[in-house]
């Protein structure tokens, strides 16, 4: 049980950390990483929710969710990186200088 | 039969996207074909719901209580019809708008977005909603950057990041709810949910994530550059549909899920933000230098009106008045969808002809394109909320409710926004009256001008005068 | 037969539509004929209703208006023939004919009208159309006269409008009788006196007349002084509560007004050298006489039947004589081309002048006789004396008039265009004028018993006794009266009024301008504000909002606010 | 399908459909456009005559479109609406002919005539509105349809004038909207009912109702050009002459005045308005407007501006009539709605003719125009005399009834207002007439466009003012005949006062 809480709690912590980092750090790459950290936090929490004790099989639903979520997060990251690259190629800097 | 339709409404565009990606040389024809098919499917589906009530279908063996299913009720169908008609018009318009190379990228992304949109309106469980939301955001950002200019890419990168932040927050909220109740289907959750820290936190997380996506003031900062720099048909879809999807979700959760949890204070927070959006967005639109920027800020303002409805909804006791109010909100969202899409499409034509969209120098282009200018005018009527547009009817009902409830400050905000809207719309239209040579004919390029004109016409004349079916439709699901 | 009445009114109106064409030069001469016939053949007391016209038109004749219709139609016929003939060479004659006919139609309408609205319509049409007659010649003097005439006419018409509205609100749209009028507030009486007083030329609203009569073409002047100014008397007879109640206050006021008018006009008239101006002042003094008599009737209502009849007779006499005098003036030709007709013209003028002075065996004598019973008010013994003095002065004025026939140049302003071509002969005009003089001459024998023929012969004698030495002196010492000649300019009161008017207009305009400017200021400011809205955009104020840190912080604040809103309110329901 | 239920809608659509079609016409399809215009105008005329007959017989016509539960768009015909409909239809027909002649060979005619038709549809809609909501709807559409007409010329002046026009009317529209909704929130859907619907409103909401009255008055007063909301009107003079004519005689100012009459009689009810002092306040505002407009007209040299301020003054006669308690003043006010329309449209047609044929825009340039353009000047003279109130032109009848009504109500100060206004009217119109007829013709006009042919100007420009002037004369001369504006106004007053 404690493990579950630890796991879930650290997930939430990760989420908050990611949020903080996303907001305060301007460079694109750091924001991307922050987003992924947030995602990892959510997924951690979900995975922790799936735990039903050692005997019972884990709840499959959160697992499915996490898998889908990871796919989505990866594609989003890819798209963001592509954008960053475009900006970089145009201007030689990926900084968000709007 | 109905089951198939629900799936088909999502599957057709998805399938189309795949096919179009595979055969880029026939992108336009195939894309248009799937657009027509999708729209037809949605219309038939809507007709069914209008006549026989809401339908639901479950997929992949995950029936209730886990629930991965699709459901069409009045509210979702209303949004579905609006979205699909707008999307169809945008498709026709885009068919001749884009160059051959841009077409290759446009159609797959566009159909993907459409599929996500239909999925979002029809999904019944929180996680599917997350997936469609995310998919919507991704495809929208990619489409927005299609023009490839630096400004567009930068703006859409920001949009993408904001969208990600929003969906992550939303997902966290979903996770919290699942942790407490172990289910995801909205209908089932609504039966068990009760006020408490978990529900509250989940609600705060989910709503604030959606606010980001709905560009609610002051989280609208990403919207004007992203919408203003996208290609015209994309701007139309973004402004008319994508932000509307986020609002739809807020409304849906508000009505169907969090009803036992929420209270007047939350509604007031929403209303306050909405009021800020109305005033600030209108004001910024008034001072905008470029036509599309003006339209984008106008979207910010119009989203504000939708959120002002929440405090009114909470204050109104259930009954005919509340039903009217709810219908008014939906009508407002629909009208804005048509109007803003028409506006953007027409603005795109003007921009193409003039080579720029600086409002103060638009005279000649406006004069040369009577149909486009007319579309802007008609859409403007709906944006301002002048009769006989749907906006007028909706505002009338909202103001009346506000008066009855004694919440006159919302009336002040709405009227102020209306006047500001009149000012910024007529600031544009004023340039159409100049001493340039008279255009030869009214319509110059039917394939782009007619969709714009039709959308604007529907927003200004059809929705307000023939609003009765909406009430019938909403009786199938949302209205008490 | 009664249908002659609408025809009499409509014919000049319809003819005015075509009168502008040169080929229609004859229209003014014929237009009044149905009216003239109507005056003789229409049975009294019958009323023709034309419910569709105006607010329901009612036409008819009674004892009073039959005579009025007679002399009005007759004068217009004579004047019309004169005008047709005299103005044939005038390039602007078409315009003159149109307005002449309009004024004629209005005048006839108001005489035969039996309801208030028709009466007012005729009165207004007549007044406005006459403006064009006054300024016809287009000189500075006639323009000035026309302007003053028009302003006063409008004031008069509006006063009458209010009076009629007040009357109508009490007694309905038909002509009221004295009993109806007796209950009206005093304001109505004041408005009626003012409204018609301007038309009659009652002092102090008289000053348009000495300006307009010399300025207008002869035929127009004859109509103004002969026919139109009598409408005022008709109005008073109709709208003052005569014979029902005694209103001593109003009566005294009217008597006072009448005396002032008579003596003021006669005195100023004697100092004039233009025969037309002299005739104008004579008319003003007669208006004074009318008002005086009306005042007497108001004091003693029992006198009403006698007084009304006397006034009507007097009006008939005065209209014909005054019209004849003016028209005769128009027939005068320069002495350098003596001709037999001129002798007859002079003779006619002398006859008319004597009649005007009330000489024995003239219409003047019987008219005075008809009014005599009224002047014997017990309390007002001196009144008869005052009227007698006025009669002497009138006679002197007529002598002065005859004198100026020789002394005053025919073309009033040397070098001016004179519409009456001095060399042309006007046989038709001369003929109808002769008829007019003839009617005046036989009037005493038709309308009165021989006892009245010699009334006031003594007054004529007194006047001659006074005049003879004066004339003699003037003949021997030509410069004797010259200082008096220009002592009072025609239109007397106009001079001080002009200064007042200029001052008023100037200050009014200043005030208006200031008002406009004051009111325009907030509007300009508002406009400027609006224009500024539409102006160029300022620097982007959203830059800082787009900054990630700010935006993120705001977002967090809202998230927390949502949460707090939920937590706090639920715990304190 | 029941035709009675369709007739009001048909009357509105008979100009709206041709208008919508005209937008799509090519610029040079002149003939087709004319055919569409005239067909619409004539069809409307026939329908309106039909309706007049029916309403006189006591028929009721009502088109009802339910927008939402409890929110109906209602077009219906009563005596008052028929009066206004007939006026707009007739004058639209005349103005269309005039506009076709006036805009010959000028640019953007399809746009112009399209909006022109919409403008009339909106006016007719206002006239036929059976509920306050419907009224608001058409009131706003009117704003929309007239804005392009004011801005039509496209000059910077026109743009400025149109902006100011829009700012005023939008503000007014917003006030009206708020007032209407407020009222509806308080008492439920507001249907125009003879005698008013607030007669037995509970005592405790009377104060609010009074406030709402002034909110509504503020909204309507903008279009009716009540001082101090009149500022747009002289600015809107930049529009082409037929537009000014229509704006001043029929469409915009009349819509406002008509609305005031509606609100006073058919919403509040004259009894209620009287007993709560609303009538008196309205009367004061109207009187100030009458005097102020006349004073301002005196100071204008531009002919059209002088006419514009004259409109400010004259339209308030309608409000004045509504503000005096009693059927006779009501007749005066309502009949002036028609009479002022006929006279003012004549004056604007004539002003347009002077500008078109001679380039004469200013009063100071009008010396001797009567000789050069006798027909136009004759019409102008009749219109001006009517405005002053000289019988037998129609304006006199209005003034007579206003005066009589005031006298019956014991409001003698109104008589003073009428007299002052008439004097001022004379002061600014008679000098024009004097110049027109009695001044010598100058050797050269500012910008003469000689017209080939026998007439002084094209027939399409000459006949409309002559016709309207003749109608104005006839309306006065035969005021008491059946089916005249006066008789119809009496019918209205009879029904409003329930006798």
Residue in B131, B145, B165 nearest the CB of A22: B165
The SS3 call for residue D458 is: coil
Dihedral of alpha carbons B120, B124, B127, B128, sign: negative
Mean pLDDT (chain D) is 90
Q: Is residue D269 part of a domain?
A: no
Q: Rounded distance, CA B382 to CA B459, Å?
A: 6
Residue in B134, B157, B175 nearest the CB of A80: B157
Mean pLDDT (chain B) is 90
Q: Is residue A96 part of a domain?
A: no
Is C75:C223 a contact under the CB 8 Å cutoff?
A: yes
Question: Per the CB < 8 Å rule, is C95 touching D437?
Answer: yes
Residue in A19, A24, A98 nearest the CB of C549: A24
Measured between CB atoms, does B468 come within 8 Å of chain D?
yes
Is C314:C237 a contact under the CB 8 Å cutoff?
A: no
Q: Which H or E run contains C571?
A: helix C548-571
Q: Which of residues 40-99 of C touch A (CB under 8 A)?
A: none
Measured between CB atoms, does C145 come within 8 Å of chain D?
no
Give me the mean pLDDT over the C396-420 stretch: 66
Domain count, chain A: 1
Q: How far apart, in Å, do the first and last CA atoms of chain C sit?
A: 96
Within 8 A of A98 by CB-CB distance, chain C residues are 546
pLDDT for the residue numbered C425: 66
> Which residues are within 8 A (CB) of A55 and not within 5 positions of it... i.e. 6 or more apart?
none
Other C-beta atoms closer than 10 Å to the C-beta of B59 total 14
> Which residues are within 8 A (CB) of D52 and not within 5 positions of it... i.e. 6 or more apart?
D82, D86, D483
Residue in C548, C555, C556 nearest the CB of A26: C548
Other C-beta atoms closer than 10 Å to the C-beta of C518 total 9
pLDDT digits (tens, 9 = 90+) for D179-214: 999 999 999 889 998 888 888 888 888 899 999 999
Query: Searching chain C, which residue's CA lies closest to the CA of residue B201?
Result: C563
Dihedral of alpha carbons D373, D378, D383, D389, sign: positive
Q: Is residue A69 part of a domain?
A: yes
pLDDT digits (tens, 9 = 90+) for B175-208: 999 888 888 888 888 889 988 888 999 999 999 9
Neighboring chains of B (3 or more beta-carbon pairs < 8 A): A, C, D
pLDDT for the residue numbered C415: 37
**Chain B closest-CA separation from residue A89 CA (Å):** 10
Is D488:D398 a contact under the CB 8 Å cutoff?
A: no
Token pair for residue D389?
């109130």
Is D263:D281 a contact under the CB 8 Å cutoff?
A: no
Q: Rounded distance, CA D346 to CA D463, Å?
A: 10
Is D485:D338 a contact under the CB 8 Å cutoff?
A: yes
Task: Map tokens 């403007």 to a residue.
Answer: B380
Token pair for residue D50?
């039909």
- The dihedral over CA atoms of D68, D71, D77, D82, expressed in degrees to the nearest 10, equals -110
- Percent helix, strand and coil across chain B, each to the nearest 5: 80, 5, 15
Chain A residues in contact with chain C using a Cβ-Cβ cutoff of 8 Å? 19, 22-24, 26, 31, 96, 98
B19 — alpha (psi -120 to 50), left (phi > 0) or beta? alpha
Cβ-based burial of C527 (10 A; exposed 0-12, middle 13-18, buried ≥19): middle
Work out the angle between the directed axes of helices D485-496 and D79-102 (0-180°, nearest 10): 150
Question: Per the CB < 8 Å rule, is D399 touching C161?
Answer: yes
Other C-beta atoms closer than 10 Å to the C-beta of C13 total 18
pLDDT digits (tens, 9 = 90+) for C198-252: 999 998 888 899 999 988 888 999 999 999 999 999 999 999 988 888 888 999 9
Residue in B284, B286, B289 nearest the CB of C533: B286
Give me the mean pLDDT over the C275-293 stretch: 92
Got the DSSP string for D125-193? HHHHB-BHHHHHHHHHHHHHHHHHHHTTT-SHHHHHHHHHHHHHHHHHHHHHHHHHHHHHHHHSS-B--
Within 8 A of C571 by CB-CB distance, chain B residues are none
Is B396:B376 a contact under the CB 8 Å cutoff?
A: no
Q: Is D391's pLDDT higher than 70?
A: yes
C501 or C34, which is more confident: C34
Question: Per the CB < 8 Å rule, is B208 touching C559?
Answer: yes
Is A28:A94 a contact under the CB 8 Å cutoff?
A: yes
pLDDT for the residue numbered B345: 95
Measured between CB atoms, does A29 come within 8 Å of chain B?
no
Neighboring chains of C (3 or more beta-carbon pairs < 8 A): A, B, D
To test the contact with chain D by mutation, choose from B366, B400, B433 the residue with the greatest count of D C-beta atoms within 10 A, namely B433
**Chain A closest-CA separation from residue C559 CA (Å):** 13
DSSP code of residue D440: P
Cα C448-C449-C450 angle, rounded to 5 deg:
120
Question: Per the CB < 8 Å rule, is B465 touching D162?
Answer: no
Q: Is residue A97 part of a domain?
A: no
Q: Is A93's pLDDT higher than 70?
A: no
Question: Per the CB < 8 Å rule, is D141 touching B415?
Answer: no
**Domain residue spans in chain B?**
263-480
Residue in B195, B203, B289 nearest the CB of C537: B289
pLDDT digits (tens, 9 = 90+) for C206-216: 889 999 998 88
Question: Per the CB < 8 Å rule, is B403 touching D141?
Answer: no
Give me the mean pLDDT over the D92-108 stretch: 89
Is C360:C454 a contact under the CB 8 Å cutoff?
A: yes
Is C69:C230 a contact under the CB 8 Å cutoff?
A: no
Neighboring chains of D (3 or more beta-carbon pairs < 8 A): B, C
Is B235:B227 a contact under the CB 8 Å cutoff?
A: yes
Q: Rounded distance, CA B60 to CA D140, Å?
A: 54
D291 or C180, which is more confident: D291
Provide the pLDDT confidence category of residue C165 given band limits of 50, 70 and 90. Answer: very high
pLDDT for the residue numbered C360: 83
- The dihedral over CA atoms of D196, D200, D205, D206, expressed in degrees to the nearest 10, equals 70
Work out the angle between the directed axes of helices B126-144 and B243-252 (0-180°, nearest 10): 170
Query: Searching chain B, which residue's CA lies closest to the CA of residue A89?
Result: B150
Got the DSSP string for D269-330? -HHHHHHTTHHHHHHHHHHHHHHHHHHHHHT--BHHHHHHHHHHHHHHHHHHHHHSSSHHHH
Measured between CB atoms, does B99 come within 8 Å of chain D?
no
Residue D413 half-sphere exposure, CB side, CA atoms within 13 Å? 10
pLDDT for the residue numbered D407: 92
Give me the mean pLDDT over the C113-124 stretch: 94
C34 or A6, which is more confident: C34
Q: Which H or E run contains B56?
A: strand B55-58
Within 8 A of D232 by CB-CB distance, chain B residues are none
Question: Per the CB < 8 Å rule, is D422 touching C161?
Answer: yes
Task: List, in sequence order, the alpha helices (H) in A1-98.
Answer: 2-24, 28-50, 60-91
Q: Give me the CATH number covering residue A71.
A: 1.10.287.3510
pLDDT for the residue numbered B480: 56
pLDDT for the residue numbered D119: 92
To test the contact with chain D by mutation, choose from C14, C151, C154 the residue with the greatest count of D C-beta atoms within 10 A, namely C154
**What is the domain range of residue C369?**
4-411+424-492
Three-class DSSP labels, C192-248 = HHHHHHHHHCCCCCCCHHHHHHHHCCHHHHHHHHHHHCHHHHHHHHHHCCCCCCCCH
Give how far the C-alpha of residue D174 lies from the chain's centroid of Cα atoms, to the nearest Å.
21
Give me the mean pLDDT over the B127-144 stretch: 92
Is B245:B337 a contact under the CB 8 Å cutoff?
A: no
Question: Per the CB < 8 Å rule, is D430 touching C531?
Answer: no
Cis bond leading into B65, ω under 30°? yes
Task: Map tokens 């639109």 to a residue.
Answer: B285
pLDDT for the residue numbered C335: 57
The SS3 call for residue C120 is: helix
* Cα separations in angstroms, C323 against C219, C393, C398, C420, D78: 9, 21, 15, 17, 57
Residue in D71, D141, D174 nearest the CB of B396: D71
Q: Is D125's pLDDT higher than 70?
A: yes
Q: Is residue A85 part of a domain?
A: yes
Provide the pLDDT confidence category of residue B1 given band limits of 50, 70 and 90. Answer: very low
pLDDT for the residue numbered D278: 92
Residue in D67, D138, D148 nearest the CB of B433: D148
Dihedral of alpha carbons B323, B327, B330, B332, sign: negative
Give me the mean pLDDT over the B56-62 stretch: 68
Provide the pLDDT confidence category of residue B250 given band limits of 50, 70 and 90. Answer: very high
Other C-beta atoms closer than 10 Å to the C-beta of C415 total 6
D153 or C451, which is more confident: D153
Q: Is B238's pLDDT higher than 90?
A: yes
Q: Is residue C551 part of a domain?
A: no
Q: Is residue D446 part of a domain?
A: yes
* Of D206, D348, D361, D231, the residue nearest D289 (C-alpha): D231
Query: Searching chain B, which residue's CA lies closest to the CA of residue A76?
Result: B138
Q: Is C155's pLDDT higher than 50?
A: yes
Got the DSSP string for D119-141? HHHHHHHHHHB-BHHHHHHHHHH
Give me the mean pLDDT over the D255-259 stretch: 94
Within 8 A of D481 by CB-CB distance, chain C residues are 51-53
Cβ-based burial of D489 (10 A; exposed 0-12, middle 13-18, buried ≥19): buried
The SS3 call for residue B148 is: coil
**What is the greatest pairwise CA distance in chain D?**
71
Provide the pLDDT confidence category of residue B479 given band limits of 50, 70 and 90. Answer: low
Q: Rounded distance, CA B302 to CA B341, Å?
A: 13
pLDDT for the residue numbered A98: 42
Q: Is residue C429 part of a domain?
A: yes
Domain count, chain D: 1
pLDDT for the residue numbered B209: 94
The SS3 call for residue D455 is: coil
pLDDT digits (tens, 9 = 90+) for C347-359: 899 999 999 988 8
Percent of chain B having pLDDT more than 90? 63
Q: Is C537's pLDDT higher than 60?
A: no
Q: Which of residues 326-345 of B touch C (CB under 8 A)?
A: none
Strand partners of residue D72: D66
Token pair for residue C417?
């265009």
Provide the pLDDT confidence category of residue C570 given band limits of 50, 70 and 90. Answer: low
pLDDT digits (tens, 9 = 90+) for B369-404: 889 999 999 999 999 999 889 999 999 999 999 999
Q: Is B63's pLDDT higher than 60?
A: no
pLDDT digits (tens, 9 = 90+) for B292-312: 999 999 999 999 999 999 999
> Which residues are within 8 A (CB) of C277 and not within 5 positions of it... i.e. 6 or more apart?
C210, C213, C214, C269, C490
Q: Is residue A20 part of a domain?
A: yes
pLDDT for the residue numbered C414: 38
Strand partners of residue C50: C57
pLDDT for the residue numbered B3: 55
* Cα separations in angstroms, C81 against A39, C99, C327: 112, 15, 11
Cβ-based burial of D368 (10 A; exposed 0-12, middle 13-18, buried ≥19): middle
**What is the domain range of residue D495?**
277-499
pLDDT digits (tens, 9 = 90+) for C142-154: 888 998 999 999 9
pLDDT for the residue numbered C534: 57
Other C-beta atoms closer than 10 Å to the C-beta of D289 total 26
Give the total residue count for chain A.
98
Q: Is C25's pLDDT higher than 70?
A: yes
Question: Per the CB < 8 Å rule, is B441 touching D177?
Answer: no
| A·C CB contacts under 8 A | 15
This prediction has a pTM of 0.91
């Amino acid at each position: 049980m404690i493990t579950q809480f630890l796991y879930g709690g650290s997930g939430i912590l990760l989420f908050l950390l990611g949020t903080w980092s996303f907001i305060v750090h301007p460079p694109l790459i750091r924001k991307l990483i922050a987003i992924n950290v947030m995602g990892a936090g959510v997924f951690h929490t979900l995975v922790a929710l799936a735990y039903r004790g050692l005997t019972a099989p884990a709840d499959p639903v959160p697992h499915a969710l996490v898998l889908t979520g990871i796919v989505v997060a990866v594609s989003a990251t890819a798209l963001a990186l592509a954008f960053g690259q475009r900006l970089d190629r145009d201007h030689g800097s990926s900084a968000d200088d709007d | 039969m109905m089951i198939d339709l629900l799936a088909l409404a999502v599957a057709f565009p998805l399938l189309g996207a795949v096919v179009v990606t595979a055969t880029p040389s026939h992108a336009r024809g195939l894309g248009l074909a799937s657009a027509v098919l999708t729209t037809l499917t949605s219309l038939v589906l809507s007709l069914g719901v209008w006549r026989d009530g809401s339908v639901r279908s479950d997929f992949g063996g995950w029936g209730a209580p886990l629930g991965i299913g699709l459901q069409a009720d009045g509210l979702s169908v209303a949004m579905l019809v609006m979205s699909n008609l707008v999307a169809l018009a945008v498709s026709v318009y885009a068919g001749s708008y884009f160059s051959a190379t841009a077409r290759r990228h446009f159609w797959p992304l566009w159909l993907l977005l459409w599929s996500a949109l239909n999925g979002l309106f029809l999904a019944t469980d929180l996680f599917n909603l997350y997936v469609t939301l995310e998919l919507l955001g991704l495809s929208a950002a990619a489409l927005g950057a299609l023009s490839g200019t630096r400004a567009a890419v930068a703006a859409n990168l920001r949009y993408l990041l904001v969208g990600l932040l929003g969906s992550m927050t939303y997902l966290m909220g979903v996770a919290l709810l699942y942790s407490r109740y172990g289910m995801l289907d909205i209908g089932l959750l609504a039966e068990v949910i009760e006020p408490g820290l978990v529900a509250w936190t989940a609600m705060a997380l989910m709503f604030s994530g959606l606010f980001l996506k709905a560009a609610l003031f002051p989280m609208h900062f990403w919207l004007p550059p992203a919408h203003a720099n996208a290609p015209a048909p994309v701007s139309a879809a973004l402004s008319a549909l994508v932000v509307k999807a986020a609002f739809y979700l807020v409304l849906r959760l508000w009505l169907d899920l969090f009803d036992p949890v929420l209270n007047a204070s939350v509604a007031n927070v929403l209303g306050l933000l909405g009021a800020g959006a109305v005033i600030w967005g209108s004001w910024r639109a008034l001072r905008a230098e470029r036509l599309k920027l003006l339209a984008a800020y106008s979207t910010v303002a119009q989203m504000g009106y939708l959120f002002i409805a929440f405090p009114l909804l909470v204050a109104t006791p259930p009954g005919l008045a509340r039903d009217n109010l709810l219908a008014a909100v939906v009508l407002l969202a629909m009208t804005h969808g048509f109007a803003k899409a028409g506006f953007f499409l027409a603005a795109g034509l003007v921009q193409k002809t003039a080579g720029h969209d600086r409002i103060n120098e638009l005279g000649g282009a406006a004069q040369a394109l009577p149909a486009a200018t007319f579309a802007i005018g008609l859409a403007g009527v709906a944006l301002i909320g002048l009769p006989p547009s749907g906006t007028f009817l909706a505002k009338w009902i909202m103001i009346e409710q506000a008066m009855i409830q004694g919440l006159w400050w919302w009336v002040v905000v709405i009227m102020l926004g209306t006047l500001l809207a009149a000012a910024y719309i007529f600031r544009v239209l004023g340039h159409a009256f100049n001493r340039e040579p008279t255009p030869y004919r009214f319509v110059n390029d039917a394939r782009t001008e007619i969709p714009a004109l039709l959308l604007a016409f529907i927003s200004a004349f059809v929705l307000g005068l023939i609003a009765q079916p909406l009430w019938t439709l909403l009786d199938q699901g949302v209205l008490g | 037969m009664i249908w002659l009445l609408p025809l009499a009114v409509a014919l000049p109106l319809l003819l005015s539509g075509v009168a502008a064409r040169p080929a229609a030069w004859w229209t003014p001469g014929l237009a009044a004929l149905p009216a003239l016939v109507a005056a003789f053949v229409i049975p009294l007391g019958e009323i023709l209703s034309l419910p569709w016209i105006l607010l329901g038109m009612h036409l008819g004749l009674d004892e009073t208006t039959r005579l009025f219709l007679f002399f009005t139609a007759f004068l217009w016929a004579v004047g019309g023939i004169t005008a047709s003939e005299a103005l044939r060479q005038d390039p602007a004659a078409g315009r003159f004919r149109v307005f002449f006919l309009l004024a004629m139609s209005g005048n006839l309408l108001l005489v035969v009208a039996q309801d208030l609205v028709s009466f007012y319509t005729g009165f207004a049409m007549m007044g406005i159309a006459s403006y064009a007659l006054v300024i016809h010649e287009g000189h500075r003097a006639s323009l000035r006269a026309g302007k003053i005439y028009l302003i006063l006419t409008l004031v008069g018409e509006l006063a009458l409008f209010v009076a009629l509205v007040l009357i109508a609100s009490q007694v309905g749209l038909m002509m009221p009788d004295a009993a109806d009028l007796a209950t009206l507030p005093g304001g109505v009486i004041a408005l009626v006196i003012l409204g018609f007083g301007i038309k009659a030329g009652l002092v102090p609203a008289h000053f348009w007349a000495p300006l307009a009569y010399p300025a207008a073409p002869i035929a127009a002047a004859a109509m103004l002084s002969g026919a139109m100014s009598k409408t005022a008397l008709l109005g008073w007879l109709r709208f003052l509560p005569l014979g029902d109640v005694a209103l001593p206050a109003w009566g005294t006021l009217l008597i006072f007004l009448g005396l002032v008018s008579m003596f003021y006009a006669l005195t100023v008239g004697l100092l004039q050298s233009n025969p037309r101006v002299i005739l104008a002042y004579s008319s003003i003094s007669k208006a004074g006489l009318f008002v005086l008599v009306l005042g007497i009737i108001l004091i003693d209502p029992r006198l009403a039947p006698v007084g009304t009849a006397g006034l009507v007779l007097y009006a008939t006499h005065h209209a014909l004589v005054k019209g004849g005098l003016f028209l005769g003036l128009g027939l005068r030709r320069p002495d350098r081309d003596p001709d037999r007709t001129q002798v007859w013209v002079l003779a006619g003028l002398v006859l008319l002048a004597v009649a005007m002075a009330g000489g024995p065996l003239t219409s003047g004598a019987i008219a005075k006789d008809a009014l005599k019973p009224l002047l014997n008010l017990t309390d007002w013994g001196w009144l008869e004396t005052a009227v007698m003095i006025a009669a002497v002065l009138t006679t002197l004025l007529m002598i002065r008039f005859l004198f100026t026939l020789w002394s005053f140049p025919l073309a009033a302003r040397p070098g001016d265009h004179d519409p009456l071509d001095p060399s042309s002969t006007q046989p038709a005009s001369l003929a109808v004028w002769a008829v007019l003089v003839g009617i005046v001459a036989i009037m005493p024998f038709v309308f009165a018993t021989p006892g009245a023929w010699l009334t006031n012969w003594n007054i004529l004698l007194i006047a001659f006794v006074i005049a003879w030495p004066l004339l003699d002196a003037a003949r021997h010492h030509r410069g004797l009266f010259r200082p008096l000649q220009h002592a009072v300019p025609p239109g007397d009161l106009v001079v001080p009024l002009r200064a007042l008017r200029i001052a008023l207009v100037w200050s009014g305009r200043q005030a208006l301008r200031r008002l406009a400017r004051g009111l325009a200021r907030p509007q300009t400011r508002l406009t400027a504000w609006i224009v500024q809205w539409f102006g160029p955009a300022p620097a982007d104020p959203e830059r800082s909002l787009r900054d990630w840190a700010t935006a993120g912080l705001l977002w967090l604040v809202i998230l927390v606010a949502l949460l707090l809103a939920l937590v706090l309110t639920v715990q304190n329901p | 399908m029941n035709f009675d239920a369709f007739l009001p809608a048909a009357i509105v659509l008979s100009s709206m459909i041709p208008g919508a079609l005209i937008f799509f016409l090519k610029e040079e399809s002149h003939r087709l456009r004319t055919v569409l215009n005239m067909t619409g105008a004539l069809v409307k005329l026939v329908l309106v005559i039909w309706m007049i007959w029916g309403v006189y017989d006591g028929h009721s016509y009502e088109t009802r479109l339910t927008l939402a539960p409890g929110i109906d768009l209602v077009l219906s015909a009563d005596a008052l609406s028929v009066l206004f409909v007939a006026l707009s239809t007739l004058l639209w027909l005349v103005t269309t002919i005039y506009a076709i002649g006036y805009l010959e060979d000028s640019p953007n005619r399809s746009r112009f005539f399209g909006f022109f038709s919409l403008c009339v549809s909106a006016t007719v809609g206002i006239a036929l509105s059976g509920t306050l909501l419907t009224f608001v709807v058409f009131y706003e559409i009117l704003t929309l349809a007239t804005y392009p007409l004011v801005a039509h010329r496209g000059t910077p002046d026109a743009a400025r004038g149109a902006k100011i026009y829009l700012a005023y009317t939008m503000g007014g529209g917003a006030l009206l909207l708020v007032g209407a909704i407020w009222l509806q929130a308080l008492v439920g859907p507001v249907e125009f009912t003879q005698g008013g619907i607030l007669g037995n409103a509970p005592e405790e909401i009377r104060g609010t109702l009074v406030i709402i009255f002034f909110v509504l008055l503020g909204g309507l007063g903008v279009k009716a050009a009540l001082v101090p909301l009149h500022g747009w009107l002289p600015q809107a003079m930049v529009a082409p002459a037929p537009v000014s004519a229509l704006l001043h005689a029929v469409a915009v100012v009349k819509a406002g005045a008509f609305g005031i009459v509606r609100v006073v009689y058919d919403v509040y009810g004259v009894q209620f308005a009287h007993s709560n002092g609303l009538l008196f306040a309205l009367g004061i505002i109207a009187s100030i407007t009458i005097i102020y407009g006349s004073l301002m007209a005196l100071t204008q040299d531009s002919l059209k501006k002088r006419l514009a301020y004259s409109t400010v003054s004259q339209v308030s006669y309608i409000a004045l009539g509504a503000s005096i308690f009693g059927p006779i003043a009501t007749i005066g006010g309502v009949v002036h709605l028609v009479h002022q329309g006929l006279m003012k449209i004549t004056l604007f047609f004539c002003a347009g003719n002077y500008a078109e044929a001679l380039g004469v825009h200013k009063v100071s340039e009008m010396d001797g125009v009567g000789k050069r353009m006798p027909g136009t000047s004759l019409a102008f003279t009749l219109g001006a005399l009517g405005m002053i109130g000289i019988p037998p032109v129609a304006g006199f009848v209005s003034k007579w009834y206003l005066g009589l009504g005031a006298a019956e109500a014991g409001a003698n100060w109104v008589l003073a207002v009428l007299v002052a206004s008439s004097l001022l009217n004379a002061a600014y119109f008679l000098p024009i007439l004097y110049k027109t007829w009695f001044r010598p013709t100058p050797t050269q006009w500012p910008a003469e466009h000689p017209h080939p042919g026998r007439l002084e100007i094209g027939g399409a420009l000459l006949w409309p003012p002559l016709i309207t002037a003749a109608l104005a004369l006839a309306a006065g001369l035969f005021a008491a005949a059946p089916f005249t504006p006066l008789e119809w106004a009496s019918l209205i007053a009879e029904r409003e006062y329930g006798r």
